[in-house]
Amino acid sequence: MAEKQKTSPPPAAKRSPTKKENNLQERGKRINELLAQAYPDARCSLNFSSPYELLVATILSAQCTDERVNQVTPAFFRRFPNTKALADAEVTEIEELIRSTGFYRNKARALKGMAKALVEHYGGEVPGTMEELVKLPGVGRKTANVVLGNCFNTPGITVDTHVSRVAQRLGLTKNSLQDKIEQDLMRCIPQADWTHFSHRTILHGRNVCQARKPRCEICILAPYCEFVSDQKRKKAK
């Protein structure tokens, strides 16, 4: 089981960005460094012990909290410990086990379809490339990046609602579509840190850069944030 992560917000930054840091890539690099300092232990908050378990948990996490998924998966994996067991399962039984995660009918069909595809085409093993993963039922780039980054040491940026919001507010992207946000972030965040950046940004979005009431007054990224600058301009008018 995963240990509880330290989520205390970092102290607010004291200085303004330099001219060099206003360059998008330099700003992205500096933001990544600050997040690394603030959340050095950030990691995937889904509990798993294999690529199969993380793939299932990530599919279940759509429109659901990771906390809820972690409550559901122990019983799920006792009943379906591998892809063969899941592929052979009745959809109705899968539905009952995952009902509390929401959208359980769609998720159950995706999970069974994913497992059947793995058994039929990959010997029951989860493949380690983006091209192969996104061909599986229920698996898009977001899910694939989670599995690749945490199980195969292949850096990838996972764009969930927190990453989308934080990246937009920081001005690292002007896009609203996940795939386009991912591409924008890949251009301004060092590749080696893509997976870590995702974990850290998710934590920052949960604890500081919240959707309704962002805690800008304590945010370490405030000097680099377009949202903060816009708010200041509005107050000055």
pLDDT tens-digit map of 76-104: 999 999 999 999 999 999 999 999 999 99
Say if residue 20's pLDDT is above 50: yes
Which pLDDT belongs to residue 2?
A: 44
**Neighbouring C-beta atoms of residue 194, cutoff 10 Å:** 21
DSSP for 132-176? HHTTSTT--HHHHHHHHHHHS--------HHHHHHHHHHTS----
Contacts of 198 (CB under 8 A, 6+ apart): 145, 149, 156, 157, 158, 159, 163
Active site residue 135: no
The band of 233, judged by pLDDT with boundaries at 50, 70 and 90, is confident
Least confident of 7-16, 106-115, 176-185, 209-218: 7-16
The band of 13, judged by pLDDT with boundaries at 50, 70 and 90, is low
Say if residue 127's pLDDT is above 80: yes
Q: Give the pLDDT mean for 56-72.
A: 97
The answer to whether residues 151 and 194 touch, using CB atoms and an 8 Å cutoff, is no
Say if residue 151's pLDDT is above 80: yes
The answer to whether residues 220 and 12 touch, using CB atoms and an 8 Å cutoff, is yes
Tell me what the pLDDT averaged over the chain comes to.
93
Q: Give the pLDDT mean for 227-233.
A: 89
Active site residue 160: yes
Options 29, 84, 116, 160, the catalytic residue: 160
Domain 51-125 class in CATH: mainly alpha
Say if residue 11's pLDDT is above 60: no
Which pLDDT belongs to residue 21?
A: 59
Options 107, 142, 184, 193, the catalytic residue: 142
Least confident of 18-27, 43-52, 134-143: 18-27
Which pLDDT belongs to residue 1?
A: 41
Domain 20-43+156-231 class in CATH: mainly alpha
Q: Give the pLDDT mean for 160-167.
A: 97
Residue 38 to residues 8, 32, 199, 219, Cα–Cα distance (Å): 9, 10, 12, 10
What's the CA gap between 51 and 127, in Å, rounded? 9
The answer to whether residues 63 and 95 touch, using CB atoms and an 8 Å cutoff, is no
Say if residue 228's pLDDT is above 70: yes
Which pLDDT belongs to residue 157?
A: 98
What's the CA gap between 185 and 212, in Å, rounded? 23
Domains of the chain by residue range: 20-43+156-231, 51-125
